[in-house]
Structure 1
Amino acid sequence: MTLLTTLGLRRKNSWEPPTLLDSLLISPLHFIVTIVYSILLFLRGRPFKPPRDKPAIRVVCISDTHDKTNVNVPPGDLLIHAGDLTNAGTAADIQAQLDWLASFPHQHKILVCGNHDSYFDPSARLPEDRGKTLDFKGINYLVRDALTLDFKGGRRLKIYGAPDIPACGGSEMAFQYDRASPPWANTVPIDTDILVTHTPPASQKNHLDLGLGCPGLLKEVWRVRPKLHVFGHVHWGRGRQTVHFDDCQRAYETLVAKRPRGLIRDFFPHSGWVDALWVLAYGVHGVVWKWLMVGPGGNTSSLMVNAALMYGNTGRLGNPVEVVDM
């Protein structure tokens, strides 16, 4: 551990958010454009609003509870858990989490497993758990499956869930795949309203993933454009982000997906400067169009939610529960 790390000026590993010094040393351009992009998203407002003539559907999003249950889960219509219910992934530990989830009054509950939930993947299941079964108690467990649910007011939502995740551990980790061969292409139904995965999309800290997400999943999200995408896995990436699937977003993703040039080389002209200018130009156009032509609340965009409740690597739950009205 270096002195700068000890002083808290540099992060300890890639699972922690970069410090200000980290960001400047990696790429001042990426850092500045990310701030500008965040401001542009804020100025464009909420991605969507519930319909005026029908009751809203309240979606409560959680993930990465890792055996813990000491969290206040708000009421709602749909409860989604995006994986990593446990640490060890034993049948007993998973059943305890299922019992906890089943105790909540939400009309519908959706679950995908995380890489720590070994039991769900036969190839990762512990020898002592082979032959054991789980009682899901009405919880809808999705493994590359789609499900349409009915809600009050005649409303319906189609939800697709998948547990697959880029390789990040040993054979005891569930549903891992080689980063070079992502399994997502043309797998999600085009009419999906809510996508639930354990891994975040993208790479190079595009979308709440600290550079640990999957670019292959991002391509699939661009194709389908679900209204809501719920995931977890990267604890320090928790939060929510609007996505518009427009030229501004594409320019931003193009820039941050490029290999960082470092503190000095970033100040010499390169193609990233062009991408940065496009982010600004398209972003300003989007803000002006939204407020002059569409008006407040007129967006028809999407929302990404990293619902991880585990507070970093502290071993305790501390992140707020994400609630979305659709």
Structure 2
Amino acid sequence: MKILHLSDTHSAHHRLKNLPDADIVVHSGDFCMVGEEREAMDFLYWFCDLPYRHKIFICGNHDSCLYDANIDGLDSNVHYLCNSGIEIEGMKFYGVPMFTEDCISDRQTHHYAKIPADTDVLITHSPAYGILDFDDNINYGSEEILMKLSDLHLKAHLFGHIHRQHGIIGQNGTIFSNGAIMNEDYSALSTPDIIEL
């Protein structure tokens, strides 16, 4: 299975041309810039039209207009994961968004705790602490995700959020992909990550 991983496009998705072939495209949040509904709708029209067999997305901290939203009318091959999962071709995907409203309460902790033990591909907006999360001499990743990883046997963890750490690494049999393709000053897009599972 080949996965095209995008994150942190910040309303610049129309600038992405000639995306590589893959079986599944995953966007791990921050498709909006300021969190307005018109931005989200523009992204969804673009995303739903992409020529991939399956399309999965979650929300990031810039996508606040979708907090508590009930997203209806998506094509059957487009999957919005909000503390939920889906199985595709025997692979179990689970997505946890990053809404500010949850992060300033204890709800985000509960969401991370509920990640199923049999998850194959975890999609979060935040990285785990110490994994592709370093910027300005600080590790910005989640310690809660890092602790949860020890209970899981993931094939891949897909995330974004930290623009300077775009890339892929492997650790202990798990592929970690920071798909944040917008650079730190929001002036250019990097090449999306491709993950083979």
> Scaled by the length of structure 1, what TM-score is found?
0.54
1:239 paired residue number: 167
Shift of 1:222: 1.5
Where is the helix percentage greater, Structure 1 or Structure 2? 1
2:45 paired residue number: 99
Structure 1 distance, partners of 2:188, 2:74, is 23
1:318 paired residue number: 189
In structure 1, stretches of 5+ residues that fail to align are: 1-56, 126-131, 151-155, 166-172, 245-300
Structure 2 distance, partners of 1:104, 1:174, is 30
For the Cα contact (< 8 Å) 1:164–1:177, is it kept in 2?
Answer: no
**Following superposition of structure 1 onto structure 2, how do residues 151-230 of structure 1 map, counting pairs within 5 Å?**
156-164=90-98, 173=100, 175-177=102-104, 182-184=109-111, 186-202=113-129, 206-210=130-134, 211-230=139-158
Residues 236 and 135 of structure 1, relative CA distance in 2, 3 Å threshold: farther
For the Cα contact (< 8 Å) 1:91–1:134, is it kept in 2?
Answer: no
Where is the strand percentage greater, Structure 1 or Structure 2? 2
1:140 aligns with 2:64: no
For the Cα contact (< 8 Å) 2:96–2:111, is it kept in 1?
Answer: no
In structure 2, stretches of 5+ residues that fail to align are: none
Q: Which amino acid aligns with 1:160?
A: Y
Structure 2 distance, partners of 1:133, 1:307, is 24
Structure 1 distance, partners of 2:121, 2:191, is 20
Q: Secondary structure at the match of 1:182?
A: helix
Q: Secondary structure at the match of 2:140?
A: coil
Structure 2 distance, partners of 1:209, 1:76, is 26
Q: Secondary structure at the match of 2:158?
A: strand
Structure 1 distance, partners of 2:6, 2:52, is 13
For the Cα contact (< 8 Å) 2:24–2:54, is it kept in 1?
Answer: yes
1:110 aligns with 2:70: no
Instruction: Indicate the structure (1 or 2) with the bigger Cα radius of gyration.
Output: 1
Structure 2 distance, partners of 1:83, 1:175, is 15
**Following superposition of structure 1 onto structure 2, how do residues 1-326 of structure 1 map, counting pairs within 5 Å?**
57-69=1-13, 70-72=15-17, 73-122=19-68, 135-138=73-76, 139-150=78-89, 156-164=90-98, 173=100, 175-177=102-104, 182-184=109-111, 186-202=113-129, 206-210=130-134, 211-244=139-172, 301-312=173-184, 314-326=185-197
> Scaled by the length of structure 2, what TM-score is found?
0.88
Identical aligned pairs, as a percentage? 26
Shift of 1:137: 3.7
Q: Secondary structure at the match of 2:132?
A: coil
RMSD of Structure 2 on Structure 1 (CA): 2.1
